[in-house]
Amino acid sequence: MSAALRLQGLCKSYGALKVSDGVDLAIEPGEFRAVIGPNGAGKTTLVHQVSGLARHDSGRILLDGRDIGALAMPDRVRLGLARSFQVTSILPGFTVRDNVALAVQARSGSSFRFWRDAAREPELNEPAAELLARFGLAHRAELPAGLLSYGEKRQLELAVALATRPRLLLLDEPLAGTSHAESREVVERLQALRGSLTILLVEHDMEAVFALADRVSVLVYGRVIATGTPDQIRADPEVRAAYLGEEAA
Amino acid sequence: MSARLRGTLLPVSLFLALALVPVFAKLGPESFILAIATRLVILALAAMSLDLLIGYGGLVSFGHAAFLGIGAYAVGILSSHGIDDALLQLAAALAGAALFGLLTGLIALRTEGVYFIMITLAFGQMLFFLATSLAAYGGDDGMTLSSRSQILGHDLLRSDAALYGLSLGALLLCYLLCRRLTASRFGRVLSGTRENRTRMEAIGFQPFRFQLVAYVMAGLIAGLAGFLFANQTGFVSPATMSWQRSGDLIFMVVLGGVGTLHGAVAGAAAFLLLEEVLSHWTEHWRILFGPLLVLAVLFARGGIAGLVGGRRG
Ligand SMILES: Nc1ncnc2c1ncn2[C@@H]1O[C@H](COP(=O)(O)OP(=O)(O)OP(=O)(O)O)[C@@H](O)[C@H]1O
Ligand SMILES: [Mg+2]
């Protein structure tokens, strides 16, 4: 059991629709894995099941060999899992800094503290400031997060996810809707993370996927039809027919 | 004026005005003025605790008067058995409120939105009907207290000014506590959950626990208000915890400004003023409250506190 994340026969249906149809996946520690697939293939639902936002019907989810399938999302997060959302999910009324500081707080001692002003705790603010600087948001720290531009919100979500110091990071289309310049920045930042943690990236941007991923898995109609290096995937005729060809057409 | 200064202006002037009430009461019908002011302070305390739930937790409880009733009945029931010591009565009030908060919170907090409103209303009504069925304690009619609570064997609260002072002290203390609380780690998790529960779970928080603690705390403060309320009215009845009273408390919070704490004090004052004026005008004064609330929500979103400025968080 050396895999950082292993999925065994994962199944989930919405009514008659099989969204995950026996998904098997093994991601090595430190690996950068991309999952691609056409719209509606079940990528987001897969991320939901791994993170605990949605329940799988059958199969197993192993995090570092430990079955986490029965755990609620917060418990999985405490074991070192973090995620971003395809539809941006932040605290719009909190400042940009507090969005990150709250994520730091989740991993820094008890939150059943009732007296001290949390906004003045250096042990929360310093790591938050560091992350904001890394994601180019330092000058926005005091702004309510709801007022950020779309691209900045995507950056903030990444900073929030990293603030929980995850071992496994699930990213659901972090590049969707960002400008070309912004997406280049994000790719650079993800590149810098390589090796320090295990990453599962769901993304439609092929250029980014082939630049970042160690290996790519292709999901079609809830099934993994191929897994391989970017070069292998590019060359795979089945993948070209099912997915890449579709894009070219 | 800076936003920060504007934000402290209203609470400081509110508490200053309340502190001066006993001085000015001497110029008029003293006990009448003190009675109204004490009632105002006590309802403000209950409304403020509700604001902790509504404004910070996003939990609209429609059964908050139940805690007021528990506090009041703790005084009434113990005093009818000859136990009139304030500390014992207060301990019973707080224990009762905490227990009720824990039991109902465990269930109600499994729901959200409209369901939470309905289930808290249902729990409040259960307690209301339980009180009406307590024949030994006056049933529907309630019971009159033989005296106010005794402090260490002394009838210190017999003076209206003393009861007012105690109530105002309780309000100020709870206000300061709640201000710390809402800015603490705990308070941030509570407000974060109001804004985006899924996000909070996705960074590893279990919102339910925080909401439950907040719910019990708000209940404790309202229980304290109930203890004071019984002493002020000298009378305890199921009406103390009617659903109308729960609605009144929500009205006060919204009117004063949700999520500000001191707004609840302004809201309670405005509410009692409106009640006083409108009830002279027509006996159906409650009917006029509805449209007024709608106007308040439409034209003064932040309530009174929002008009004066400096909405927090
Ligand atoms: N809660 C739900 N109830 C019913 N059907 C759902 C639900 N969530 C997703 N689906 C359906 O499941 C299928 C897979 O959805 P999912 O969002 O996982 O796809 P995806 O691969 O992430 O697509 P995209 O690339 O567009 O983000 C879709 O057909 C979708 O309509
Ligand atoms: Mg998706």
Q: What is the pLDDT of residues B189-208, one digit of tens each?
A: 999 999 999 999 999 999 99
A193 with A216, same domain: the answer is yes
ipTM (interface predicted TM):
0.94
Same-domain check for residues A138 and A197: no
| E-state strands within chain B | 143-144, 235-236
What's the rounded Cα separation, in Å, for the pair A115 and B185?
8
Does residue B141 lie within any of the structural domains? yes
Percent of chain B residues topping a pLDDT of 90: 76
Q: Which residue of A has its CA nearest to B210?
A: A112
Reduced to 3 states, what is the DSSP secondary structure of residue B82? Answer: coil
B313 in a domain, yes or no?
no
Q: Is residue A87 part of a domain?
A: no
Mark yes or no for CB contact B198/A113 under 8 Å: no
Q: What is the pLDDT of residue B168?
A: 98
For residue B48, is it within any domain? Answer: yes
According to DSSP, residue B55 is labeled I
Residues A63 and A171 in one domain: yes
Checking if the pLDDT of B285 tops 90, the result is: no
Count of the separate structural domains present in chain A: 2
Return the half-sphere exposure (C-beta side, CA atoms, 13 A cut-off) of residue A89. Answer: 21
Decide: A45 in ligand 1 pocket, CB within 6 A. Answer: yes
What pLDDT is attached to residue B1? Answer: 55
Q: Is residue B201 part of a domain?
A: yes
Q: Whose CA is nearest to atom 5 of ligand 1?
A: A14
Q: Are residues A192 and A220 in the same domain?
A: yes
User: What is the A39 CA–ligand 1 centroid distance (Å)?
Assistant: 8
The predicted model gives B262-272 an average pLDDT of 94
Contact A118 B187 (CB under 8 A): yes
Residue with the bigger pLDDT between B214 and A242: it is B214
- The 3-state DSSP class for residue B165 equals helix
Same-domain status, A178 and A243: yes
A117 with A71, same domain: the answer is: no
Cβ–ligand 1 distance for A237 under 6 Å, the answer no
CATH number of the domain within which B141 lies: 1.10.3470
Nearest CA to ligand 1 atom 12: A19
Across the strands, what pairs with A228? A216
**pTM for the predicted model, two decimal places:** 0.94
Q: Three-state secondary structure along chain A?
A: CCCCEEEEEEEEEECCEEEEEEEEEEECCCCEEEEECCCCCCHHHHHHHHHCCCCCCEEEEEECCEECCCCCHHHHHHCCEEECCCCCCCCCCCEHHHHHHHHHHHCCCCCCCCCCCHHHCHHHHHHHHHHHHHCCCHHHCCCEHHHCCHHHHHHHHHHHHHHCCCCEEEEECCCCCCCHHHHHHHHHHHHHHECCEEEEEECCCHHHHHHHCCEEEEEECCEEEEEECHHHHHHCHHHHHHHHHHHHC
- Same domain? For A171 and A247 the reply is yes
- Non-local CB neighbours of B248 within 8 Å, separated by 6+ positions: B43, B65, B271
Which residue would you say has higher pLDDT here, B158 or B299? B158
* End position of a domain, from candidates A143, A163, A183: A163
The answer to the question of residue A153 being in a domain is yes
Is residue A177 a part of any domain in this protein? yes
Query: Is B203 within 8 Å of A94 when comparing Cβ atoms?
Result: no
Q: Is the CB of A14 under 6 A from ligand 1?
A: yes
* Per-residue model confidence (pLDDT) at position A248: 45
Dmax over CA atoms of chain B, in Å, equals: 60
Interface of B with A in 198-217 (CB under 8 A): 198-206, 210, 213
- DSSP label at residue B205: -
Give the residues across from A14 on adjacent strands: A17
Ligand 1 within 6 A of CB of A2: no
Categorize the per-residue pLDDT at B312 as very low, low, confident or very high, splitting at 50, 70 and 90.
very low
Residue A86 lies in a domain: no
Q: Report the number of distinct structural domains present in chain B.
A: 1
- Same domain membership, residue A142 and residue A176: no
Q: Answer yes or no: is A131 within a domain.
A: yes
Instruction: Specify whether the CB–CB gap between B262 and B52 falls below 8 A.
Output: no
Residue B154 token pair: 């002394």
What is the rounded CA–CA span in Å between residue B243 and residue B123?
10
pLDDT digit string (tens) for B56-106?
999 999 999 999 999 999 999 999 999 999 999 999 999 999 999 999 999
Give a yes or no: residue A230 inside a domain. yes
Is A140 in the same domain as A175? no
Same domain, A136 and A199: no
Same domain as A182, residue A140: no
Residue B245 lies in a domain: yes
Any idea what DSSP says for residue B283?
T
Query: Is residue A105 a part of any domain in this protein?
Result: yes
Q: What are phi and psi of A127, to 5 degrees?
A: -60, -35
Q: Which domain holds residue B78?
A: 3-308
**Which residue range forms the structural domain that includes residue A116?**
92-163
CATH number of the structural domain spanning residue A25: 3.40.50.300
For B194, which residue in chain A has the nearest alpha carbon?
A91
Shared domain check, A249 and A174: yes
Distance from C-alpha of B91 to C-alpha of B74, rounded to nearest angstrom: 9
| pLDDT given at position A245 | 55
State the pLDDT at residue B309. Answer: 66
Could you list the mean pLDDT of each consecutive 10-residue stretch along chain A, which spans 249 residues? 90 95 96 95 97 97 96 97 96 97 94 94 96 96 96 95 97 93 93 94 93 95 94 87 58
Domain presence at residue A85:
no
Residue A98 touches partner B, C-beta closer than 8 Å: yes
Report which protein residue has its CA nearest ligand 1's atom 9.
Answer: A45
Q: Which of A147, A163, A179 is the last residue of a domain?
A: A163
What was the pLDDT predicted at B293?
Answer: 76
Question: Of B226, B215, B166, which Cα lies nearest the Cα of B43?
Answer: B226
